[in-house]
């Protein structure tokens, strides 16, 4: 999985004229122009000066001057022109995505996953190490360190080249990245995961709930691209909700938005028992994964298995209908391990929601699968980095470098 992803939103520059009118100095205006050029090139790939000028609405001569400065400072790279006919070949420019890297982590009860990406969001390598829910806290932290080390080694990257780390973790996490509660990892509460990750590589770090980051990934580069409001149903042995409103993560005042653990009527995690206790799976179809066996048997038409799956979906639908009725999202994405069986589950879920909702949202299965939370961490890291460039004080951009830590260690 790769491709062009996050860039500075175009509307970040909509207030440019207002800033000039309000007395912004020429140095600040130069920075705005530079960021607009960088955003255009990151979004569209290799561009000529004329194409950049057309995209951002700035005079070609001004764009040429800005581009030369950005090339000199290492932000852009000039591609060697290739002559294809008469006349001088046009010079093209690309963003120096390989100038730095971001690291996305997914820390769960059963594994630690690390994803390395460049500043364009192109994935370089993924490493996953298995763990166990009973693993002691210090051992889990060491497992995180080993996973990070192996990921950087496989990507041929040194720790000094990493600009930022973002981790997706199971549990209730406060604004400072402290783990306040975790139902799936017994001793995870109280861990200062943000501080640990900062010390690990000496770079800015952010920690966020895994369901939220899975939702972010689906919105930025998965099943939810192009929609404004999205709800992710994390369905499997562990459940969760991720909410995006107007394209932004919704965490709530106390960072508990989407948590259903205290609501018996809405919590569908215990419904997994319908699948675990189902004995309607043919002996020839058993793989050792009881849940997957039942889902496969149901898809093949085995009556007992299908009854168990319908019972599970009915309880999941109650939670989905509650959030759909309150938010009225454009899309609900089925994530988690059960997203592999979306062809079976989504028609059943749609039938239940039609009975419970005035308007049933569009339903889709995750297109990112097990990598979604780690990819969401990469997306959030890139957005924090480029938001930091917008908020840093000063005049024109200097040499390409890692942004200073203040302003990039809080959540989205």
pLDDT, position 2: 37
- Residues 209 and 239: their CA atoms lie apart, in Å, by 12
| pLDDT for the residue numbered 130 | 96
Indicate if 226-367 has the same CATH topology as 10-95: no
Residue 154 CB coordination number (10 Å)? 14
Integer angstrom CA distances of residue 88 from 63, 213, 378: 19, 47, 40
Domain spans of the chain?
10-95, 98-214+371-391, 226-367
**Averaged pLDDT, groups of 10, the chain, 412 residues long:** 37 41 64 88 88 91 92 88 62 90 96 96 96 95 97 95 95 88 90 93 94 97 96 91 95 88 82 90 75 93 95 95 95 95 97 97 96 96 83 69 54 48
| pLDDT computed for residue 397 by the predictor | 76
The answer to whether 377 touches 107, Cβ cutoff 8 Å, is: no
Tell me, what's the pLDDT at 391?
64
Fold of 98-214+371-391: Nucleotidyltransferase; domain 5 (3.30.420)
Q: Which residues on neighbouring strands pair with residue 77, listed in sequence order?
A: 94
The pLDDT, as a whole number, for residue 39 is 87
- Multiple choice CATH, 226-367, 3.10.450.50, 3.30.420.40, 3.40.50.720, 3.40.250.10: 3.30.420.40
Distance of CA 23 to the CA centre of its chain: 37
- CATH T-level topology, domain 10-95: Arc Repressor Mutant, subunit A (1.10.10)
pLDDT for the residue 288:
77
Q: What is the pLDDT of residue 404?
A: 62
């Amino acid at each position: 999985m790769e491709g062009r992803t996050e860039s500075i939103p175009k509307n970040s520059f909509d207030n440019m004229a207002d800033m000039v009118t309000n007395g912004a100095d020429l140095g600040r205006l130069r920075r705005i122009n530079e960021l607009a050029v960088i955003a255009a090139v990151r979004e569209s790939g290799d561009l000529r000066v004329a194409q950049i000028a057309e995209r951002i609405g700035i005079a070609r001569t001004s764009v040429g001057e800005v581009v030369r400065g950005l090339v000199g400072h290492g932000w852009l790279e000039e591609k060697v022109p290739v002559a294809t006919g008469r006349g001088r070949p046009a010079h093209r420019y690309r963003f120096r995505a390989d100038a730095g890297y971001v690291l996305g982590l997914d820390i769960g009860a059963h594994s630690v996953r690390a994803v390395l990406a460049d500043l364009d969001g192109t994935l370089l390598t993924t490493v996953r190490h298995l763990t166990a829910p009973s693993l002691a806290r210090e051992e889990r932290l060491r497992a995180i360190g080993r996973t990070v080390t192996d990921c950087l080694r496989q990507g041929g990257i040194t720790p000094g080249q990493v600009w930022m780390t973002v981790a997706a973790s199971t549990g209730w996490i406060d604004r400072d990245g402290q783990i306040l509660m975790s139902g799936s990892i017994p001793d995870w509460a109280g861990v200062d995961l943000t501080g640990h990750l900062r010390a690990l590589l000496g770079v800015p770090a952010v920690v966020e709930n895994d369901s939220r980051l899975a939702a972010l990934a689906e919105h930025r580069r998965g099943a939810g691209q192009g929609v404004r409001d999205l709800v992710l149903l994390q369905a499997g042995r562990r459940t969760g909700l991720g909410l995006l409103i107007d394209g932004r993560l919704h965490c709530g005042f106390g960072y508990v938005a989407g948590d259903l653990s205290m609501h018996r009527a809405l919590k569908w995690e215990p419904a997994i028992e319908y699948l675990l206790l189902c004995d309607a799976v043919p002996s020839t179809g058993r793989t050792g994964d009881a849940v997957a066996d039942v889902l496969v048997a149901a898809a093949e038409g085995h009556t007992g298995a299908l009854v168990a799956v319908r019972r599970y979906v009915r309880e999941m639908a109650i939670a989905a209908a509650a959030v759909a009725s309150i938010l009225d999202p454009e899309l609900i994405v089925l994530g988690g391990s059960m997203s592999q069986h979306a062809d079976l589950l989504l028609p059943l879920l749609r039938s239940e929601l039609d009975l419970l909702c005035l308007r049933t949202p569009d339903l889709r299965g995750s297109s990112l699968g097990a990598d979604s939370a780690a990819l969401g961490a990469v997306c959030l890291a890139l957005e924090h980095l480029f938001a930091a460039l917008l908020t840093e004080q000063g005049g024109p951009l200097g040499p390409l470098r890692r942004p200073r830590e203040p302003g990039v260690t809080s959540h989205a």
